[in-house]
Structure 1
Amino acid sequence: MPDSIYKFFPYNSHDLDALANNYLWFSHYSNFNDPFEDVFIKNSLSYVKDAFDEASAIKFYKHLHKGQLPPHVVEEAILDLKMRGEFEQSYHEMLLKTFKGVKNTFEKFVSESKACCFARDSQFGRVLKNRLMWSHYADGLRGFCVEFDRATLIQSISNGIGKDVFLSPMRYGELKAFDFKNLLAHTAEKINTENYEFGIGSLVSYKSKEWEYESEYRLITDAGNAIQIAPESIISITVGSKMADSKLNTLKSILRGNERIACTLYEAYIDTKSFNLERKKIGDISTQA
């Protein structure tokens, strides 16, 4: 079984052009349909200078430098700062400097990164049976959905841009400002362990729980908007049953005109007995080699 990811299209000229010319469009965060995304990432951390607790500060200091410096060097640095009466001040300065650095990194990420969004099968069911996905992203069964082989697609993008594309399965939960100190301590303590599940870096892949039905998977890069892909990564294309015949004929013509596309065509339709979305095969697109 292929490791598939799915992308829905409403059917417009840009969608058809992308199929004809082998690319996917990567959007800036400020252009996403969820207006909270860019705002949340830039404001997801809060920092308040709290009362100093030396034992906690020492533990935190050691976690933060773990793997960067030998333990005895960290111990000596802490002892030296304490002997000079500068440990508390150094600790707060380190926290504030780190906080500002992370904030700047998040702001740069939102400003420069571009993402292409997909869906995956999950505990919520099969993507192609998801009523909301067909309604919200494929114009109510008037658009279509492309199934990609994930590994082939990612490799082709990475080869094309000359560097690895960032892979981002999305997480979902309550949107809030996370306490920087606590989250940083958790990140430093857990990042190299099997118990690491959520840390500071996770915030760039975090959305409100209302979006959980999407089971979203993102590819992220700063290389550009129209990113070339290997059309061989396309496994199937499923069209909505409400797509006009003239549009379906145009879509087929574009697919057949791309000599590198070989995939199966399906139609997604509403079963009038179960009122579930079902799929049936309606043809094949073969390479012309």
Structure 2
Amino acid sequence: MSVDKIEKLLKFLPAEDYVLDSLKGETVWFSYLKNLNDPFEGNVRFSKLEREDVINVYLEVVVSKGGIAPAELPEYRKVLEMDRHYEGLVEAIGEIEKDTVRNIMETFSTFSCCRVMSGSSVAERTNEILMWAHYTKSFRGLCLDFDFHVLDKSLRELNGDEAMGNALINYEHEMYEVDFPKFMRNAIKPHQVGMDDYIKTAIFRKHSIWEYEKELRFLSGREGLFNISNEAIKGVYLGPNMDEKYREEVVTIFRSKFPYVKLYDVAPYGYGLNYKELK
């Protein structure tokens, strides 16, 4: 599925003060992966190695960094084949794997939305009961309707090089497996970012249980507020359980800063939702 077919994005938000501040400042918040609600964000698993592969990879890395001379390899191999030394080597590799996942989770930030494909109506997506329940704290929050193209362009143009593009989430039953020998060989090559492919795969891959979210993810290397165009938001849906005072604040912000944006009250209707535009 291509992002070219996306027209709109929906962002479900809780009724919190930081949301109001973000709207007033015409910004959106990018969160580090480690701060998202899925504990498996950015996780990968490494391929299981045979004993000989573990030793070969380690020696290759040490030689490449000038730790030992090639002529010394046979002697070092004998030492590493001893159980006590091999166990220490396996433990060291385990730490590399943990550091790799930690690096992904603490380096990359995202702003995530639900996609609305061309030919689909916004109403079809705002009717997502689970999204309202999970992300607006039991229908107390709101849903922003973004124009994908305006949002994407403004993130790129108003934030320098900090906005790093976007991609759709791939939903799979199995976690992405990294070939550890290949990973290490790429990582030690000079002037080469050998981790790009697996990083991108880890960031844009989630378990299939999340597939109902139909997520598109914007990417950056910084957590915080990012500027957007005041023309990026096209509609606002107010949850049926929203506090009246908070509702008044939201309406005031949009009437003053975004007068062209349509606002809708959301109400339960059967096992679905009904929308009434505010005049």
Aligned to 1:176: 175
Aligned to 2:218: 219
1:134-149, aligned counterparts within 5 Å? 134-149=132-147
How far has the Cα of 1:221 moved from its partner?
0.5
Q: Identity across aligned pairs (percent)? A: 24
Structure 2 letter corresponding to 1:34: D
Q: TM-score, normalised by structure 1?
A: 0.65
Q: Distance in 2 between matches of 1:166 and 1:31?
A: 20
Gaps (5+ residues) in structure 1?
53-99, 185-198, 284-289
Gaps (5+ residues) in structure 2?
54-94, 184-196
How far has the Cα of 1:176 moved from its partner?
3.5
Aligned to 2:273: 277
Structure 1's 46 and 136: CA in aligned 2 closer, same or farther, altered over 3 A?
same
Say whether 1:121 aligns with 2:108.
Answer: no
Contact 2:237/2:266 (<8 A) preserved? yes
Say whether 1:111 aligns with 2:109.
Answer: no
Q: Distance in 1 between matches of 2:266 and 2:132?
A: 9
Q: Once superposed, what is the RMSD of the aligned Cα atoms?
A: 3.2
How far has the Cα of 1:149 moved from its partner?
0.6
Aligned to 1:210: 209
Contact 1:236/1:263 (<8 A) preserved? yes
Say whether 1:268 aligns with 2:266.
Answer: yes
Contact 2:46/2:180 (<8 A) preserved? no
Post-superposition Cα deviations, 1:35-91, rounded to whole Å, max 9, x if no partner, equal 1214x24xx332525999xxxxxxxxxxxxxxxxxxxxxxxxxxxxxxxxxxxxxxx
Range with greater deviation from structure 2 (152-161 or 1-10):
1-10
Q: Distance in 1 between matches of 2:17 and 2:166?
A: 28
Aligned pairs, number: 216
Q: Distance in 2 between matches of 1:183 and 1:231?
A: 45
Contact 1:161/1:223 (<8 A) preserved? no
Structure 1's 281 and 234: CA in aligned 2 closer, same or farther, altered over 3 A?
same
How far has the Cα of 1:261 moved from its partner?
5.3
SS in 1 for 2:22: helix
Q: Distance in 1 between matches of 2:109 and 2:6?
A: 26
**Runs of at least 4 residues off by over 4 Å:** 49-52, 100-107, 181-184
Q: TM-score, normalised by structure 2?
A: 0.67
Post-superposition Cα deviations, 1:120-161, rounded to whole Å, max 9, x if no partner, equal 2369x9320100000001122211000111111111111122
Aligned to 2:31: 27
How far has the Cα of 1:22 moved from its partner?
0.8
Structure 1's 268 and 241: CA in aligned 2 closer, same or farther, altered over 3 A?
same
SS in 2 for 1:232: coil
Aligned to 1:242: 241
Structure 1's 151 and 141: CA in aligned 2 closer, same or farther, altered over 3 A?
same
Structure 1's 179 and 24: CA in aligned 2 closer, same or farther, altered over 3 A?
closer
Contact 1:113/1:220 (<8 A) preserved? yes
SS in 1 for 2:226: strand
Aligned to 2:17: 13
Structure 1's 155 and 268: CA in aligned 2 closer, same or farther, altered over 3 A?
same
Contact 1:143/1:240 (<8 A) preserved? yes
Contact 1:46/1:177 (<8 A) preserved? no
Q: Distance in 1 between matches of 2:176 and 2:164?
A: 28
How far has the Cα of 1:166 moved from its partner?
2.3
